[in-house]
């Protein structure tokens, strides 16, 4: 899993340019990424979708856990970060899309994800954008699928509970700041 000084600098630069869009000054720590991805069985997933890929801390670890015939679609709205991802991973299973998570359905062409990995800055989104993105998540999941969400506050928990029958929360302290991680499923636990 890569998290180099130069990645941190690029991430910080993206934050300075668009603070509300990036929502954090540092990429997620490798420990928090592992805690988050451990909540899903990526080895059995056929299609994984990532929303807000940043410098790719989840991207690389998802690819490491995916099976050979599986696919990962990573959406990132910042063109500089999307280009970084595109150049970094020479893996035919990965498709990088530079677009907003709001356009997710258009990029899935009717397919649904077994695992959705979401590290979007919901707390700094305006209310309309937050609602539009949250509303499209349940329909983007395949039956039996799981949505993984990482946030820096529990603010989003109620919104997730309104949309998913099962919302499991863990807190990973090995991150600055400590991260709240949610695993959400359509079926009750």
Ligand X SMILES: C[S@@+](CC[C@H](N)C(=O)[O-])C[C@H]1O[C@@H](n2cnc3c(N)ncnc32)[C@H](O)[C@@H]1O
| Interacting residue ranges for ligand X, rule: CB under 6 A | 21-24, 27-28, 51-54, 57-58, 75-78, 81, 100-102, 119-121
Of 34 and 166, which CB lies nearer to ligand X in the complex structure? 34
Of 144 and 173, which CB lies nearer to ligand X in the complex structure? 173
Question: Phi and psi (nearest 5°) for 150?
Answer: -115, 130
Of 77 and 141, which CB lies nearer to ligand X in the complex structure? 77
- CA separation for the pair 173, 151 (Å, rounded): 12
Nearest-approach distance from CB 137 to ligand X, in angstroms: 12
- What 3-state class would DSSP assign to 121? coil
Nearest-approach distance from CB 98 to ligand X, in angstroms: 9
**What are the tokens at 155?**
């603010």
Of 72 and 101, which CB lies nearer to ligand X in the complex structure? 101
Nearest-approach distance from CB 79 to ligand X, in angstroms: 10
Nearest-approach distance from CB 155 to ligand X, in angstroms: 14
The neighbour count for residue 74, using CB atoms within 10 Å, is 26
The answer to whether 112 and 144 have CB atoms below 8 angstroms apart is no
Cis peptide before 177 (omega within 30 of 0): yes
């Amino acid at each position: 899993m890569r998290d180099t000084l130069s990645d941190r600098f690029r991430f910080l630069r993206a934050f300075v340019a668009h603070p509300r869009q990036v929502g954090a000054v540092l990429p997620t720590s490798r420990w928090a990424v592992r805690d988050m991805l451990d909540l899903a069985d990526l080895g059995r997933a056929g299609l994984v979708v990532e929303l807000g890929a940043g410098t790719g801390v989840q991207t690389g670890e998802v690819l490491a856990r995916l099976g050979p015939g599986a696919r990962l679609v990573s959406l990132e709205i910042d063109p500089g970060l999307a280009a970084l991802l595109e150049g970094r991973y020479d893996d035919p299973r990965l498709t990088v899309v530079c677009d907003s998570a709001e356009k997710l359905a258009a990029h899935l062409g009717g397919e649904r994800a077994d695992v959705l990995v979401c590290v979007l800055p919901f707390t700094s989104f305006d209310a309309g954008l937050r609602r539009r993105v949250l509303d499209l998540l349940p329909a983007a999941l395949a039956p039996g699928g799981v949505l993984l969400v990482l946030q820096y506050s529990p603010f989003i928990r109620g919104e997730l509970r309104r949309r998913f029958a099962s919302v499991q929360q863990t807190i990973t302290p090995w991150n600055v700041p400590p991260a709240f991680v949610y695993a959400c499923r359509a079926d009750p636990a």
